[in-house]
Amino acid sequence: MAAEKVIDKIRAREAAGQVPYFSFEYFPPRTSDGVTNLYARLGRMTAQDPLFVDFTWGAGGSTSDLTLELAVNTKKNYGMDVNMHMTCTNQDASKVDVGLEGAKAGHVRNICALRGDPPKGQEKWEAVEGGFECALDLVKHIREVHGDYFGISVAGYPEGHPDNIKPVADLGRELTDSERIRVCNVEGVEHVCNDQDWKVELDYLKEKIDAGGEIILTQLFYDVGTFLQFVRDCRAHGIMCPILPGIMPIQAYGGFKKMCGFCKTRVPADVAEQMEALKEDGDGVKAYGIDLAARHCKEILDSDLNLNGVHFYTLNLEKSVLGILEKLGLKKEVAEEVTVETENTTVGTHVA
């Protein structure tokens, strides 16, 4: 089956009125059994006709070989178009080129260009000798070497990049109205990406798009109002490409707290209160996660911002995502199989 660029698929679906659309994200499992289970899950999820699926590169580039293998096999065996993550972490230009050539040979036509997280045990991100400093460098390299062959997506941060989210007390002044929309609580301390850093982030995001990025995939969020303001700010800044909101269904209390802390995610008071009330009720947390995500998706898709797609961080599971699609009236009915899901909260985050 011929491979397509995601941006072309989006344009075709929107022109034909085939909206909304959605996509699924997975990460390379740690064990061979996990890989086997993931392939089985991918086979089942193919029936939902996602716009694309993507696979994370892994912190520190630790799973790059498996990411490429998963991407190529998914296209080959299931016919789904793949958006393969690629990071700058621990990679010089030659390693990047090997990955891109492997994707091209395997009919994978889409790359999500990211800086990546620091390697395990290293707090500060640093480029390797002969490597790239940031995602912008990677976008430019892909376009320089491969022209328009690859569709390129980049990361966006509705609340600001975690590196730019700092204690409010450090500002030494009152928050502006725009800053209040982005305030988050990190271990009991208010943090925010201030207006000055916010403009720098939007400038950089526009650079990534102007250099060849075609789609923005956002970091997870739990405040729809903050996300919608991010979209408005992007449009006012001249960033007009499709923006796909990153929706991570809440699967477990511990995983939710860990991810929100790591990403410095803004959590509205009502969500925080409900999660505390359900913290000992695993099934209740999952049910709430499905309902919350479905409500968020509906609010986004019903907004006046012409947002037609949703990107799901599946955590390599399927029941919550299928539950959300069902509530949205988007689930395609297929013959059911009995599956046992095991929570795994290892995910790749979007780092510019």
Q: Is residue 348 in a domain?
A: no
Q: Which of 25, 159, 201, 214 is catalytic?
A: 25
CB 243 within 8 A of CB 298: no
Using alpha carbons, list the distances in angstroms from residue 221 to 7, 98, 263, 308.
23, 33, 9, 17
Q: Is residue 188 in a domain?
A: no
The range of the structural domain enclosing residue 204 comes to 6-166+196-327
Q: Is residue 179 in a domain?
A: no
Helix (H) or strand (E) holding 76: helix 64-78
Q: Is residue 1 in a domain?
A: no
- pTM, 2 dp: 0.91
Q: Which residues contact 14 (CB under 8 A, 6 or more apart)?
A: 308
pLDDT in tens, the chain (352 residues): 689 999 999 999 999 999 999 999 999 999 999 999 999 999 999 999 999 999 998 654 556 789 999 999 999 999 999 999 998 766 677 888 989 999 999 999 999 999 765 555 555 645 445 567 789 999 999 999 999 999 999 999 999 999 999 999 999 999 999 999 999 999 999 999 999 999 999 999 999 999 999 999 999 999 999 999 999 999 999 999 999 999 999 999 999 999 999 999 999 999 999 999 999 999 999 999 999 999 999 999 999 999 999 999 999 999 999 999 999 999 998 765 444 454 444 444 555 5
Q: Is residue 305 in a domain?
A: yes
Q: Is residue 254 in a domain?
A: yes
Q: Is residue 335 in a domain?
A: no
- Residue ranges of alpha helices (H) inside 193-340 are 195-210, 224-236, 253-263, 269-278, 282-301, 319-327
| 341 in active site | no
Q: Is residue 190 in a domain?
A: no
For residue 85, the cross-strand partners are 112
CATH number, domain of 283, equals 3.20.20.220
CB 321 within 8 A of CB 32: no
State the Cα–Cα distance between residues 100 and 113, nearest whole angstrom.
11
Q: Which residues contact 2 (CB under 8 A, 6 or more apart)?
A: 107
- Give me the number of domains the chain comprises: 1
CB 191 within 8 A of CB 163: no
State the Cα–Cα distance between residues 247 and 220, nearest whole angstrom.
6
- Both tokens of 202, joined, read 């939007």
